[in-house]
Amino acid sequence: MAARVVSPGFHRRVYTVVRTVPEGYVTTYGDVAAAMGSPRVARHVGWALAAMKDEEAPWHRVINAQGRISHRGDTGRATLQRALLEAEGIEFKGDRVDLKRFRWWFGGDRGPNPGS
DNA sequence: GGTTTGACCATAA
DNA sequence: CTTATGGCCAAAC
């Protein structure tokens, strides 16, 4: 079903993309934005997830390009996110995630981390 | 309909 | 390694 390709807002699109991320993998805000066709909207991805209340999506699988958890002051969110990722098999190096291994690539016809 | 803000990213120092 | 700055675009006020 068309799955509502067109949504009343930009957020809906973000949730749709984030839902495509399988368990055990993570992605970055920039990649989600790029998957939509505009890598400049990376900020809105995080903003959309912050506004996510009625919708459901694995927001914890979305991190910044530095492989770190963004919390903008709210450390509580970072703690929860880290716990959720570790529960899915994501390994943390200090406060960072190994994007080289867990970064999911949208449209992964050949799986994550295409080429190398 | 203009201003402010924001869970970012890339580059520079 | 970290911190600072510019830019980009959509939603909220």
CA distance A1 to A7: 14
B10 C1' to A96 CA distance, Å = 19
Q: Which nucleotide is nearest to A70 (CA to C1')?
A: B7
Query: Which positions on chain C have an atom < 7 Å from some protein CB?
Result: 7-12
- Does any strand C atom come closer than 7 Å to the Cβ of A13? no
- Model pTM? 0.88
Q: What are phi and psi of A49, to 5 degrees?
A: -65, -35
- Does any strand C atom come closer than 7 Å to the Cβ of A106? no
Q: Which fold has domain A10-102?
A: Arc Repressor Mutant, subunit A (1.10.10)
Reported as a single tens digit per residue, the pLDDT across A7-37 is 557 888 899 899 999 999 999 999 999 998 8
Reported as a single tens digit per residue, the pLDDT across A51-109 is 887 788 999 999 999 999 998 878 888 899 999 999 999 999 888 999 988 999 887 55
SS (H, E, C) A16-64: HHHHCCCCCCEEEHHHHHHHHCCHHHHHHHHHHHHHCCCCCCCHHHEEC
- Does any strand C atom come closer than 7 Å to the Cβ of A38? yes
CA distance A15 to A8: 13
Neighbours of A71 (CB within 10 A): 13
